Structure 1
Amino acid sequence: MVVAKVSYEERRRQRLEENRRRMEELNLPQLSQALRNFPSPKPSPMKRVKPRSIQKQVVVVRRSSRVANMPAPVFKEVVIDRVAIPRRIYRQRDLSNRVYATEEARQEALEKAEQLQLSLESEFPTFIKSMLQSHVSGGFWLGLPVHFSKKNLPKKDEVITLIDEDVNEYPTIYLPRKTGLSGGWKGFAVAHNLADGDALVFQLIRRTAFKVYIIRVNSPAEDKQL
């Protein structure tokens, strides 16, 4: 056991001596000392970041002339669970001046319109429309007969001209997906002072033009002069 221990210590000493000799041959001790004496690099100063300045601009929200000219909305407080919550109240349209035709007067105007329709040239398609309040006030939307529209009118949005009995022309926008007249119909209705119960005869004289005959509700009994 003693011989083995001495042999181990001798081999360990020989390895250390051999490692030292190799280090001296490679000049490692001198390099290590030189690195210790070499001044360490100065840390680079941190770049100062200039804080961004955020400019606040006042943006004026533009409102359309139609909305800008409308009266300001009225708000009313509504109490819910003892908490007052402002609630917008929309001004209702004044309908007090509306005049509604009686069923007898409406039917009489329709009968006169049917007589007029029979006297028109049959080569031009025709239909009769009895006026309602939605046609002549408020919404100003005129729905046309679906079957007539699909058979005779354009399949895409088109300008359709209404020609009254004085040969005055009124362009309107026809919407086939809704089978009705939108923009421009209000101008025609207002210009001719149409009322609830009036009966109108539409005669398609061209692909995009109607001759329109108006039978006034409660009008005199004499026949309509063409």
Structure 2
Amino acid sequence: MAEPNSYEEQRRRQVEENKRKLDELRLHRLSTAVREAAVKPVPTEEPKLRYLRPPPPPTRRSGRVAGLPKQPDYRYSVDNTRRELPPAPVYATNEASTYAFTKAKELKNQLCSDQPSFIKPISNYSDARGPLGIPLQFREMYLPWCDETISLIDQEDVEFEMTYLAKHGAICSGWSLFSIGHKLADGDCLVFQLVQRTKFKVYIIGASSYYEQDHH
């Protein structure tokens, strides 16, 4: 019976020895990992470099230029803008305006009654350069209810196309060019005769014609 016991005892010792070696091996690996972690440097974020722009070099001035008197500044100034403004509008006298309007009424009465017409005095500078308003009653009776292109035919039978804005009851785009081209001014009177649905014959009676007549 002693032999089996010695075998069991030997087997137990062998198992304990193996366990001890295994523990030592694990402990060895653990200590190695700890040492490597302690030695390995911790990565840190690299600092961002700031690139500073070098200061501008000092301005070099010629001794001859520095010795000259201060030059005038020809850049934007109030005086320059005043010289660029358009000339002030010239207003007609009451006599000249009345004369032009009377002649316009005489002309309107001579026109064909089958073609409606209206008189438009140029009473200020904006009438000659800004949009031209059409009398309310005339446009409600004869002009289209939507925006359209209309034509104006002057006394030389030259035709000009422009835009009529129904909402505002005014001739807009193209009118200023017509006005400038015909040198319309305060006191002038225009007679518009509707010869077609969107086409007017325009007669111009200038206030300046008053001074061309003999009123004595």
- TM-score band, normalised by shorter chain: 0.5 to 0.7
Match of 1:142 in 2: 132
Question: Whose helix proportion is higher, 1 or 2?
Answer: 2
Alpha-carbon distance between aligned partners in 2 of 1:53 and 1:169, rounded to the nearest angstrom: 68
Correspondence 1:38 to 2:23: no
Amino acid corresponding to residue 121 of structure 2 in structure 1: S
Alpha-carbon distance between aligned partners in 2 of 1:73 and 1:144, rounded to the nearest angstrom: 41
Higher mean alpha-carbon deviation, 198-207 vs 149-158, is at 149-158
Match of 1:176 in 2: 166
Amino acid corresponding to residue 74 of structure 1 in structure 2: S
Residue 176 (structure 2) aligned to one of 154, 175, 186: 186
Deviation at 1:28, TM superposition (A): 7.2
Alpha-carbon distance between aligned partners in 1 of 2:204 and 2:78, rounded to the nearest angstrom: 44
Amino acid corresponding to residue 32 of structure 2 in structure 1: N
Alpha-carbon distance between aligned partners in 2 of 1:191 and 1:108, rounded to the nearest angstrom: 23
Correspondence 1:100 to 2:91: yes
TM-score of the superposed pair, with normalisation by structure 1: 0.56
Deviation at 1:160, TM superposition (A): 2.0
Amino acid corresponding to residue 133 of structure 1 in structure 2: Y
Correspondence 1:133 to 2:125: yes
Deviation at 1:109, TM superposition (A): 1.9
Q: 1:45 to 1:196 in 2, by over 3 A?
A: same
Q: How does 1:42-61 map to 2 (within 5 A)?
A: 42-43=40-41, 45-46=43-44
Instruction: Give the unaligned 5+ runs of structure 2.
Output: 1-18, 53-73
Match of 1:74 in 2: 77
Match of 2:143 in 1: 153
Instruction: Give the unaligned 5+ runs of structure 1.
Output: 1-23, 55-70, 77-88, 222-226
Match of 1:7 in 2: none
Deviation at 1:128, TM superposition (A): 0.8
Number of residues paired by the alignment? 168
Question: Whose strand proportion is higher, 1 or 2?
Answer: 1
Deviation at 1:142, TM superposition (A): 2.1
Which secondary structure does the structure 2 equivalent of 1:160 belong to? strand
Task: Give me the CA root mean square deviation.
Answer: 3.9
Which secondary structure does the structure 1 equivalent of 2:164 belong to? strand
Which has the bigger relative contact order, CA under 8 A and spacing at least 6?
2
Q: Report sequence identity in percent.
A: 37
Match of 1:199 in 2: 189
Match of 1:167 in 2: 157
Deviation at 1:46, TM superposition (A): 4.9
Q: Cα deviation per residue 1:102-156 (whole Å; 9 max; x = unaligned)?
A: 22322232222122222222333321100132233xx443222234334433444
Amino acid corresponding to residue 213 of structure 1 in structure 2: Y
Deviation at 1:189, TM superposition (A): 1.9
Q: 1:151 to 1:73 in 2, by over 3 A?
A: farther
Amino acid corresponding to residue 77 of structure 2 in structure 1: V
Q: 1:37 to 1:164 in 2, by over 3 A?
A: same
Larger Rg: 2
Q: 1:148 to 1:99 in 2, by over 3 A?
A: same
Match of 2:16 in 1: none
Deviation at 1:170, TM superposition (A): 1.5
Q: How does 1:105-120 map to 2 (within 5 A)?
A: 105-120=96-111
